[in-house]
Chains A and B, each alone.
Chain A
Amino acid sequence: MIRFMLAIIRRDLLLVARQPAEMINPLVFFVLVIALFPLGISPEASLLSQTAAGVIWVAAMLATLLSLELLFKLDHDDGSLEQLLLAPYPSWSLVLAKVFVHWLVSGLPLILISPLIATMLFLPSHAVPALMLSLLIGTPTLSLLGAIGAALVTGVRGGGMLLTLLILPLYVPVIIFGASSVAAAAQGMPIDGYMALLAAMFVFALMITPWAAGSALKL
């Protein structure tokens, strides 16, 4: 089964490599949304640094949502999803493999570019490690939970909007603790509790997603 998952990972990464736009788009979107906030609100450093944690987290969530729709859609459209589900391996392994690629392609770049974003929004530099850590634990959680929604709306017309509606309530806890952890770090407070909770949510998502998404795909 590991080889099955590795094969899927390799295949999906190859597909992404052939269409780099799939990888660049969420990143550009992320930076754009961040840039819009000072434009829409105010470029004042004191105001921006106060809201930076939340803004970055919401933008990261939106960027993840943007790329989620394609998670299963492309494979569904050309029929390969059905074939993959017929393989003698549990469907949750397929889900995990695809979610991993999704995170590599959408979550990881966000984490890597976050120090730059932090500067744009005047987030204090001592909060940046907390930002990166929270994103490191949080974005896989977002990818996992999002996969449930993506699996449910596969093959449904207008799935993108519906997907967003389905998943956003599930994202609320992740956003709350992700953003709060960064805000706490900016104020110099300990972040262990937040990280522990984020990690717990990640593990929780890891447990329910493969089952839920796998069952949903087979519908």
Chain B
Amino acid sequence: MTQSIWRMPRWFHQMGSPKWFYDFGGVLQPWFAVAAFVLLTWGAVWGLAFAPADYQQGNSFRIMYVHVPSAILSQSIFLGMAVAGAIGLIWKMKVAFMVARSCIAIGATFTAIALLTGAIWGKPTWGAYWVWDARLTSTLVLFFLYAGVMALNQAISDRQIAGKATAILAIVGTINIPIIKYSVEWWNTLHQSSSFTLTEKPSMPADMYLPLLLTVLGSYCLFVLVVLMRTRAQILQTQSGASWLMQHRDITGA
């Protein structure tokens, strides 16, 4: 019986069972794949070809439809990674550590996309590829946080210890993120003269805003898909001796 401070419902502990996660995750996977593809394609096509151009920025504002989801996901994933790590530490759930580990690469990717598309967007808007504005700078710091978690995960050879260590780092990082964001924003107001931020969201007409909603949702679905895939892969890797796996139809081909 796992030790815990709070009594958690049965489904919570059930999710921690590798077999349950593998099977249920396998069922969910194709749905999230379809959802991600449909939502992203629909949102992208709408945003690229059908939404009206912004009167200030012209057509380059369409970058928003990939930049904003990436920025949102980059932060949510780090938080999710820390939550999964915390669950793993508190309830000693192996699957939770696996989920946390699955988040690292996809989170870092979204952060990189946010940074790069932010820079590309900056060129026609501000005339420069990089400006030390608050959002871009704190995204850069977030990228370094991801890099740290990734490096720590790879440096420790024992998978159990690696899982716990990265969980601690992710938790410490997450607690620090608001502080970092606040300090960078403050630093920015001190030094920056322009008040325009890239991702400021003025009230947008629906046909500008809805594609964004689609791409954000689609990105979340894609994230869930990747986490399901990677976690199931880790389950396969680490549970090789388990009887449920050895008799599983994926292995026996039955």
Whether A and B touch directly in their complex, counting CB atoms under 8 A apart, is answered as: yes
Q: Are A177 and B151 in contact (CB under 8 A)?
A: no
Taken together as a complex, chains A and B put the C-alpha atoms of A166 and B165 apart, in Å, by 12
B180 interface neighbour in A158, A162, A166, A172, Cβ under 8 Å: A172
How many residues of chain B are within 8 Å of chain A by beta carbon? 29
Q: Are B141 and A215 in contact (CB under 8 A)?
A: no
Q: Are B168 and A216 in contact (CB under 8 A)?
A: yes
A165 interface neighbour in B144, B164, B190, Cβ under 8 Å: B144
State whether the Cβ of B175 lies closer than 8 Å to any Cβ in chain A.
Answer: yes
State whether the Cβ of B176 lies closer than 8 Å to any Cβ in chain A.
Answer: yes
Q: State whether A152 and B180 are in contact (beta carbons under 8 Å apart), knowing that A168-B144, A169-B148 are contacts in the complex.
A: no
Specify which chain A residues have a CB less than 8 angstroms from the CB of B142 in the assembled complex.
169
The interface centre, meaning the residue of A169, A204, A208, A216 with most chain B CB atoms within 10 A of its CB, is: A169
Q: State whether A170 and B176 are in contact (beta carbons under 8 Å apart), knowing that A177-B183, A180-B187 are contacts in the complex.
A: yes
Q: Are B183 and A173 in contact (CB under 8 A)?
A: yes
Q: Are A180 and B190 in contact (CB under 8 A)?
A: yes
Binary flags per residue of B131-166, CB closer than 8 Å to A gives 1, else 0: 000000000011011011001100110000100110
B152 interface neighbour in A153, A180, A208, Cβ under 8 Å: A153
Secondary structure type dominating chain A contacts = helix
Q: Are B190 and A208 in contact (CB under 8 A)?
A: no
Cβ < 8 Å to A, chain B residues 180-196: 180, 182-184, 186-187, 190
Binary flags per residue of A175-219, CB closer than 8 Å to B gives 1, else 0: 011001000000000000000000001001000100010011001
Q: Say how far A209's CB is from chain B's closest CB, in angstroms.
A: 9
Specify which chain A residues have a CB less than 8 angstroms from the CB of B187 in the assembled complex.
176, 180
Q: State whether A165 and B172 are in contact (beta carbons under 8 Å apart), knowing that A156-B156, A177-B183, A180-B190 are contacts in the complex.
A: no
Q: Are B155 and A208 in contact (CB under 8 A)?
A: no
Taken together as a complex, chains A and B put the C-alpha atoms of A219 and B85 apart, in Å, by 14
Q: Are B165 and A219 in contact (CB under 8 A)?
A: yes
Q: Are A169 and B179 in contact (CB under 8 A)?
A: no
Q: Are B145 and A208 in contact (CB under 8 A)?
A: no
Q: Are B155 and A158 in contact (CB under 8 A)?
A: yes
Q: Say how far B104's CB is from chain A's closest CB, in angstroms.
A: 14
Q: State whether A208 and B175 are in contact (beta carbons under 8 Å apart), knowing that A162-B151, A166-B169, A169-B148 are contacts in the complex.
A: yes
The closest CB in chain A to the CB of B141 belongs to: A169
Q: Are A169 and B183 in contact (CB under 8 A)?
A: no
Taken together as a complex, chains A and B put the C-alpha atoms of A176 and B148 apart, in Å, by 20
The interface centre, meaning the residue of B89, B180, B183, B186 with most chain A CB atoms within 10 A of its CB, is: B183
Specify which chain B residues have a CB less than 8 angstroms from the CB of A148 in the assembled complex.
168-169, 172
Q: Are B155 and A169 in contact (CB under 8 A)?
A: no
Q: Are A204 and B145 in contact (CB under 8 A)?
A: no
Q: Say how far B146's CB is from chain A's closest CB, in angstroms.
A: 9
Specify which chain A residues have a CB less than 8 angstroms from the CB of B169 in the assembled complex.
148, 152, 166
The closest CB in chain A to the CB of B150 belongs to: A165
A152 interface neighbour in B165, B179, B183, Cβ under 8 Å: B165
State whether the Cβ of A18 lies closer than 8 Å to any Cβ in chain B.
Answer: no
Q: Are B180 and A157 in contact (CB under 8 A)?
A: no
B172 interface neighbour in A158, A170, A180, A219, Cβ under 8 Å: A170
Specify which chain A residues have a CB less than 8 angstroms from the CB of B152 in the assembled complex.
152-153, 156, 162, 166
Q: State whether A212 and B168 are in contact (beta carbons under 8 Å apart), knowing that A162-B152, A165-B148, A176-B183 are contacts in the complex.
A: yes
State whether the Cβ of B173 lies closer than 8 Å to any Cβ in chain A.
Answer: yes
Taken together as a complex, chains A and B put the C-alpha atoms of A173 and B215 apart, in Å, by 32
Q: Which residues in A have some Cβ–Cβ distance to B below 8 Å?
A: 148, 152-153, 156-159, 162, 165-166, 168-170, 172-173, 176-177, 180, 201, 204, 208, 212, 215-216, 219
Cβ-closest 5 pairs across A and B: A173-B183, A166-B148, A176-B183, A169-B145, A169-B144
- 25 A-B interface contacts by CB (under 8 A): A148-B168, A152-B152, A152-B168, A156-B152, A156-B155, A157-B155, A158-B155, A165-B144, A168-B144, A169-B141, A170-B173, A172-B180, A172-B183, A172-B184, A173-B183, A173-B184, A176-B186, A176-B187, A180-B187, A201-B179, A208-B175, A212-B172, A215-B168, A216-B165, A219-B165
